[in-house]
């Protein structure tokens, strides 16, 4: 009996706190994942899809201009935005689709916040011949319309979720409910290292390729590993992907950057390290932003992929054990960092990734010139064109939109 109790736990965090009807399908998924991890055939197919479909390995770019400007550590950018569909999300989507295929499923469902995971799921569904349904908060649909458009072009049905905060957490609720009602034939492609076991472990395992590539590439070019790695943290999939390989090596400083939103007051950001407390939410136990009644509290971020109230359980454990530092960057800092990277390095980062950059810019000058700082650029910024144009008050873009609407 005790054997099951610790399954999927990272210290005190994680587990599978789900309605009983999900216990069997999660067990089935967990068994299929364990089996896949022992299968050479699975691993070969996974690696081949990453290389030939997604375009891995992604480049590790020396940010020479940024390094010079900041005058501290040598900065490398791991450009996950170079993946097919523009972010790291496709990696765990490919992994899960291959497992769904082995389970004989014919339909993929997913939640999405910024839309990157939804587009990635819709893409692998098209590639592998699955039907696809993506749940998305109606607020996020408004913020990320281009991704909605592309999901629909890829053949997915995008279902608006119109309750609660109408963002990522509500999309997770709705996807879980749909799964409960349609377990036969349906695989839920949960898009981060959160939710019930085995999702946090499974997605970390798939995403860990990011850190492995960073390590191999730096060894080749610098003859050593990184001194520090910085990544943004919503649920935490890109962060754990970049960190996993280095967790045992205590010399490597790992820093996650949460959404600082519009200020250090509850409700104005998504800083779980500051405002989260232990709770059970969406199938797992972790640090969750909630009120004193145990109700999930509102969050805010300019980045739709970061305004999630719960922290991936493995990251919560690493944070508690002080292996991981958690800091935050505000909306404004993220947009400033975005602008700087565009102009200095010729890279247009996603707003989520811009949070990691914002902190890297604070950190680099405090590091020695012989130290290596890696920033994980989890995605590219194409999807954010409307939000950034508005934030930067770009009048010409506004004129373009007005003109464009007259063409309809």
Partner 1 sequence: MKNAKQIEIMAHLVAGYPDTGASLRLAETFAASGANILEIQMPFSEPVADGPTIVEACHVALKNGFRSKEIFAFCHKVSKFGVPIVIMSYSNPIMSIGIDSFCRQAVAAGVSGLIVPDLPFDSKEGEELLACSKKYGLNLIQVVSPSMSGDRLKRSIACSQGMIYCTTKRGTTGGQTSISADLKKVIEAIRKQSDIKIALGFGISSRKDVEAVAGLADIAVVGSALLRAFSSGGGEDAAAKLLKSMKPPLDR
Single out the residue of 251, 295, 396, 407 in contact with partner 1 (rule: CB under 8 A): 295
Q: Does 400 bind partner 1 (CB under 8 A)?
A: no
Q: Which of 111, 174, 205, 314 is catalytic?
A: 111
Alpha-carbon distance of 262 to 214, in angstroms, equals 32
Applying CB under 8 A, what is the total number of residues that bind partner 1? 35
Residue 351 vs residues 113, 172, 217, 342: alpha-carbon distances, Å: 13, 21, 26, 12
Q: Among the options 74, 89, 133, 285, which is catalytic?
A: 89
Burial class (CB in 10 A: 0-12, 13-18, 19+), 126: middle
- Rounded to a whole number of angstroms, the minimum distance from the CB of residue 13 to partner 1 is 12
Taking the C-alpha atoms of residue 191 and residue 158, their distance in angstroms, rounded to an integer, is 15
Mark whether 265 is an active-site residue.
no
Pick 34 or 152: Cβ nearer partner 1:
34
Do 62 and 107 contact (CB within 8 A), yes or no? no
Task: Please select the residue that binds partner 1; options are 50, 296, 367, 377, rule is CB under 8 A.
Answer: 296
Q: Which of 15, 86, 256, 349 binds partner 1 (CB under 8 A)?
A: 15
Minimum separation from the CB atom of position 195 to partner 1 (A): 11
Of the candidates 289, 308, 256, the residue with the CA atom closest to the CA atom of residue 113: 308
- For the stretch 244-248, contacts whose Cβ atoms lie closer than 8 Å and that sit 24 or more positions apart, written own/partner, are 244/204, 244/207, 244/208, 244/211, 245/208, 245/211, 245/212, 245/214, 245/215, 246/211, 246/215, 247/318, 247/323
Q: According to the binding rule CB under 8 A, does residue 156 interact with partner 1?
A: no
CB 267 within 8 A of CB 299: yes
**What six digits make up the tokens of 197?**
């076991």
SS3 237: helix
- Active-site annotation holds for 89: yes
Stretch of residues binding partner 1 (CB under 8 A), selected from 20-28, 318-326, 363-371, 385-393? 20-28
Q: Which of 18, 70, 311, 351 binds partner 1 (CB under 8 A)?
A: 18
**CA-CA distance, 82 to 5, in Å (whole number)?**
40
Q: How far is the CB of 295 from partner 1 (least distance, A)?
A: 4
Per CB under 8 A, the list member of 34, 51, 149, 280 interacting with partner 1 is 280
Decide: is 39 part of the binding site for partner 1 (CB under 8 A).
Answer: no
x/- binding map, residues 206-235, to partner 1, per CB under 8 A?
Answer: ------------------------------
Contact flag: residue 25 with partner 1 (CB under 8 A): yes
Among 97, 282, 120, CA closest to 187: 97
Residue 401 binds partner 1 (CB under 8 A)? no
Between residue 169 and residue 208, which ones bind partner 1 under the rule CB under 8 A?
169, 173, 176-177, 180-181, 183
Is residue 378 annotated as part of the catalytic site, yes or no?
Answer: yes
Binding site for partner 1 (CB under 8 A): 1, 4-5, 15-21, 23-25, 163-164, 169, 173, 176-177, 180-181, 183, 278-283, 288, 290, 292-296
| Active centre residues (catalytic) | 89, 111, 378
């Amino acid at each position: 009996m005790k054997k099951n109790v610790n399954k999927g736990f990272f210290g005190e965090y994680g587990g599978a706190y789900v309605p009983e009807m999900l216990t069997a399908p999660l067990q089935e998924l967990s068994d299929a994942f364990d089996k896949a991890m022992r299968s050479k055939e699975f691993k070969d197919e996974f690696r081949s899809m990453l290389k030939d479909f997604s375009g891995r390995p992604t480049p590790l770019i020396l940010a020479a201009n940024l390094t010079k400007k900041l005058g501290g550590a040598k900065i490398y950018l791991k450009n996950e935005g170079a993946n097919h569909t523009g972010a790291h999300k496709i990696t765990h989507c490919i992994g899960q689709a291959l497992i769904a295929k082995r389970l004989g499923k014919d339909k993929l469902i997913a939640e999405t916040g910024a839309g990157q995971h939804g587009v990635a799921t819709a893409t692998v569904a098209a590639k592998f011949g699955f039907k696809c349904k993506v749940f998305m908060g109606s607020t996020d649909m408004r913020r990320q319309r281009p991704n909605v458009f592309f999901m629909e072009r890829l053949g997915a049905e995008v279902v608006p979720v119109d309750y609660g905060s109408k963002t990522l957490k509500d999309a997770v609720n709705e996807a879980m409910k749909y799964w409960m009602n349609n377990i036969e034939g349906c695989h839920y492609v949960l898009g981060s290292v959160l939710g019930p076991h085995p999702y946090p472990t499974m997605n970390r395992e798939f995403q860990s390729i990011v850190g492995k590539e960073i390590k191999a590439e730096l060894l080749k070019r610098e003859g050593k590993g990184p001194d520090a790695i910085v990544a943004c943290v919503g649920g935490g999939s890109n962060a754990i992907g970049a960190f996993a390989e280095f967790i045992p090596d205590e010399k490597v400083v790992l820093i996650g950057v949460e959404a600082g939103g519009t200020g250090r007051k509850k409700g104005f950001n998504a800083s779980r390290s500051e405002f989260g407390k232990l709770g059970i939410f969406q199938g797992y136990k972790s640090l969750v932003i909630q009120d004193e009644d145990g109700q999930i509290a509102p969050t805010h971020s300019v980045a739709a992929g970061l305004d999630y109230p719960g922290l991936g359980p493995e990251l919560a454990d690493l944070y508690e054990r002080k292996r991981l530092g958690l800091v935050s960057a505000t909306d404004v800092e993220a947009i400033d960092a975005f602008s700087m990277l565009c102009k200095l390095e010729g890279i247009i980062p996603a707003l989520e990734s811009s949070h990691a950059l914002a902190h890297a810019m604070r950190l680099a000058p405090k590091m020695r010139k012989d130290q290596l700082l890696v920033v994980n650029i989890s995605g590219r910024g194409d999807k954010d064109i409307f939000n950034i144009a508005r934030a930067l008050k770009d009048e010409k873009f506004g004129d373009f939109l007005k003109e464009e609407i007259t063409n309809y």
